[in-house]
Amino acid sequence: MSSSIRDYLHHLHSVYSNALNENAPRANVDSSLIKIPLHPHQQAVLYKMEDMEQRLNKGMEVEDECVYSNYGILGDSVGVGKSLMVLSHISRLSSSPPLKSHTTIRGSSTPHMFSLKIRPQPHVYPISLIVVPHTLFRQWADYIKKQTTIKNMCISRSSQLKEEKFVEKLQETNILLISNTLFKSVLSICHTNRIRLQRIFIDEADTIYLTSGYDLHEFTPFIWFITASWMNLMYMNVNLYLDKNVIDEMVQQPSSKYNYLQHHFLSKNSVLYGTYTYYIESMRVRSRSMLQDIITPFHILRSQLVVSCSDKFIKQSIILPQLIRRNIYCRAPISYQILQNMVSTTIQNRLHAGDTEGVMEELGIVGKDMKSIIEGVTATFRKELEKNIKLYAFKETLEYNTPAAKAAALLTLQQRIDQTKASIASMEERVRNFKQNMCPICYEEPDEYLVTPCCTNALCPKCLLLSVATNPQCPLCRAAIHPSKCTKLVSEENVIETGPKVEEPKKHEALLQIIKENPGGKFLVFSRYDNPFELIEGGLSSLNIKVRCLKGNKDVISSTLEAFDSGKLQCLLLNSQYAGSGLNITSATHVILLHAMTYEEEKQILGRAYRAGRKGPLTFIKLLHKGEEMYSEQEGAQEAAQEAAQ
């Protein structure tokens, strides 16, 4: 078993086996400071956070080692009330024992001689700094004001930091809430005025963008990083390729200590590379340059710093309404069927999402439609073929150490040439097969055609009208033409049809149909890419459905969410990479994915609406092309394995 697999399983096992359960000790809060009653799992986390701080400060025994740390990771799952856990922890700091010492290892230490430097903690002010992404600032400010009576300052503008009595007010507060954009400025003020904070909490630690220029431990004895995607902090910008056969063998053995991790891997997509199949884990953080100075990505015991609850405990602690899951399979555009398996996975994902502009940008193609993409991909194949043919001719003239070496090199190159020729032939064959069903201008499949009177070619109305608007000639034969002279094509099949034709909808058609069928619904529509939202926004607006993209500064986002909650907006369009974490949108009735997402993305997205405080059922819908889904066929098995593990 490789070291990467061993380490990965070790960290999973460490966090899951240490997860809090219904028998874990619990702590209560002062109801005069925290207005909201805590759920049992929140009480258990509160106790664990306090206990871990003290033990890490003095040296926490783990097996045969003693671990010291001045940071921890609050890694509970999405939507279980981590913000209230943080506020409750702050409310108890004044009555908790202070962290008295600061222990470091001397830099000149070696495995043969080492020393620990134990210093008393400098004076701290009873101030806890909470740093959040700017998109979550208003939400956190609302939590603080509605759920607590703790003295607080919620700073939303840099001008507030320059007010005459800011430092004086800061020294009298217990919570300072800022967005990530003000982080460096606040640290500068604290540094200048020698203000050491009681705690620092960093929300959405893996996706928040932070720069500081300071050693954070100069400002506080303990830092809490908050994220449900804690594995990103274990590795930080690393791709792991885990041999699926080895993993499956390890977790499926009844006697293995990793047997209970089956549900984790059932949720993972596997990819075939050559003769091996891998699980690919892509761990990413946005602020690596700052985090790497605090969080070690190498220490084998780093996962001991994660605090979380078991799924079983959370389900017992929070009773959520029904979650309804649906997969709707949609008709893939002809252009995608032509390009399928001819381009990279990244390009195919964009095609599934309808992100034509993104595909052209990714491929470096200048154009405006799918025809440009198909021709661009074909041209790339032809260039590659020409290059390899020239390279083959050149290598034929070279002398090698042995005839066998030359034969092997030429064979490899010939195989590449043959493969490229096959790809070109396959593309051309696909275009020929679909030609009768697609517009010759844009290579798409229109709902109706206009037949030109000159050359009797059938084109989609959009392409023809755009063409003659700039030049009143047929775009194919260049004869003079006027749209009024064209004939609308009606197929015989449609004329003689006696019953309704059952046909899969396109994705945007399925989305519009869902919204029309639920006039009282409130919809969150997610995509990894922004470009498809333009078509959707136009389609919904034409149906008089109030829709808006969720983006902008914190004030714009707050205003948009308020409009959605109040019913002034019926549909929000959200980018899953930038608006998929941390937000609380429990008023939504439907969450819709425009394309397949990773398991972690789905967890984050679902957590926006399916979380503590939700009142009614939620419908979760994925719009998929055949073969697009990453793991949806395994969902039933995953849920069964989770139940068995509990």
The values of phi and psi at residue 142, to 5°, are -65, -45
- Is pLDDT at 438 greater than 70 in this prediction? no
pLDDT digits (tens, 9 = 90+) for 188-199: 999 999 999 999
Residue 129's pLDDT band, with cuts at 50, 70 and 90, is: very high
* Nearest residue to 101 via CA among 127, 113, 119, 75: 119
Residue 220's pLDDT band, with cuts at 50, 70 and 90, is: very high
Residue 477's pLDDT band, with cuts at 50, 70 and 90, is: confident
pLDDT digits (tens, 9 = 90+) for 150-181: 999 999 999 999 998 999 999 999 999 999 99
The values of phi and psi at residue 173, to 5°, are -100, 165
Neighbouring residues of 108: CB distance < 8 A, sequence distance ≥ 6: none
- Inter-residue contact 189 to 212 (CB < 8 Å): no
Separation between Cα atoms, residue 433 and residue 171, nearest integer Å: 74
Written as one string, the DSSP assignment of 26-44 is -----TTTB-SPPPHHHHH
Residue 643's pLDDT band, with cuts at 50, 70 and 90, is: very low
Which runs of consecutive H residues, i.e. helices, occur in 325-402?
334-339, 345-353, 356-363, 370-396
**For helices 137-147 and 82-92, angle between their N-to-C axes, nearest 10 degrees:** 50
Percent of the chain with pLDDT over 90: 49
Task: Let me know the angle formed at the C-alpha of 389 by 386 and 390, rounded to the nearest 5 degrees.
Answer: 85
Separation between Cα atoms, residue 187 and residue 178, nearest integer Å: 11
H/E run at residue 14: helix 3-17
Q: What are 106's two structure tokens?
A: 């001397």
pLDDT of the residue at 645: 43
Residue 271's pLDDT band, with cuts at 50, 70 and 90, is: low
Task: Let me know the angle formed at the C-alpha of 370 by 364 and 374, rounded to the nearest 5 degrees.
Answer: 70
pLDDT of the residue at 173: 97
The whole-chain average pLDDT of the chain stands at 85
278 in helix, strand or coil? Answer: strand
pLDDT of the residue at 201: 98
Q: What are 317's two structure tokens?
A: 């602690």
pLDDT of the residue at 93: 96
Higher pLDDT residue, 470 or 625? 625
pLDDT digits (tens, 9 = 90+) for 303-320: 999 999 999 999 999 999
Separation between Cα atoms, residue 312 and residue 409, nearest integer Å: 58
Environment class of 146 (CB within 10 Å of its CB; exposed 0-12, middle 13-18, buried 19+): exposed
- Inter-residue contact 480 to 488 (CB < 8 Å): no
pLDDT of the residue at 496: 35
- Is pLDDT at 456 greater than 80 in this prediction? no
- Identity at 501, one-letter amino acid code: K
- Inter-residue contact 368 to 544 (CB < 8 Å): no
pLDDT digits (tens, 9 = 90+) for 555-572: 899 899 999 999 999 999
Q: What is the mean pLDDT of the segment spanning 289-293?
A: 90
pLDDT of the residue at 637: 34
Q: What is the mean pLDDT of the segment spanning 248-277?
A: 74
Separation between Cα atoms, residue 283 and residue 234, nearest integer Å: 8
- Identity at 508, one-letter amino acid code: H
- Identity at 191, one-letter amino acid code: H
Q: Which of 85-89, 334-338, 353-357 has the highest mean pLDDT?
A: 85-89
**For helices 403-434 and 370-396, angle between their N-to-C axes, nearest 10 degrees:** 160
H/E run at residue 542: helix 533-542
DSSP state of 484: G
Written as one string, the DSSP assignment of 66-90 is EE--SEEEE-PPTTS-HHHHHHHHH
Residue 491's pLDDT band, with cuts at 50, 70 and 90, is: very low
- Is pLDDT at 605 greater than 70 in this prediction? yes
Residue 266's pLDDT band, with cuts at 50, 70 and 90, is: low
Q: What is the mean pLDDT of the segment spanning 615-633?
A: 79
- Is pLDDT at 147 greater than 90 in this prediction? yes
Residue 497's pLDDT band, with cuts at 50, 70 and 90, is: very low
DSSP state of 215: -
Other CB atoms closer than 10 Å to residue 53's CB: what's the count? 24
Q: Which of 32-41, 227-236, 245-254 has the highest mean pLDDT?
A: 32-41
- Identity at 614, one-letter amino acid code: R
Which runs of consecutive H residues, i.e. helices, occur in 77-136?
82-92
pLDDT digits (tens, 9 = 90+) for 389-410: 999 999 999 989 999 999 999 9
pLDDT digits (tens, 9 = 90+) for 324-339: 999 999 988 777 777 7
Per the listing, tokens 């959605």 go with 564
pLDDT digits (tens, 9 = 90+) for 524-555: 999 999 988 988 888 888 889 999 999 888 88
- Is pLDDT at 518 greater than 90 in this prediction? yes
Percent of the chain with pLDDT over 70: 89
For the whole model, what pTM was predicted? 0.78
- Inter-residue contact 244 to 252 (CB < 8 Å): no
Give just the sign of the alpha carbon dihedral 490, 493, 499, 504. negative
pLDDT of the residue at 50: 98
Other CB atoms closer than 10 Å to residue 7's CB: what's the count? 16
Q: What are 187's two structure tokens?
A: 């640290």
Cα distances from 443 to residues 357, 435, 436, 460, 608, in angstroms, run 15, 8, 10, 10, 38
Chain-centroid distance of CA 294 in Å reads 24
Separation between Cα atoms, residue 113 and residue 625, nearest integer Å: 61
Separation between Cα atoms, residue 605 and residue 590, nearest integer Å: 12
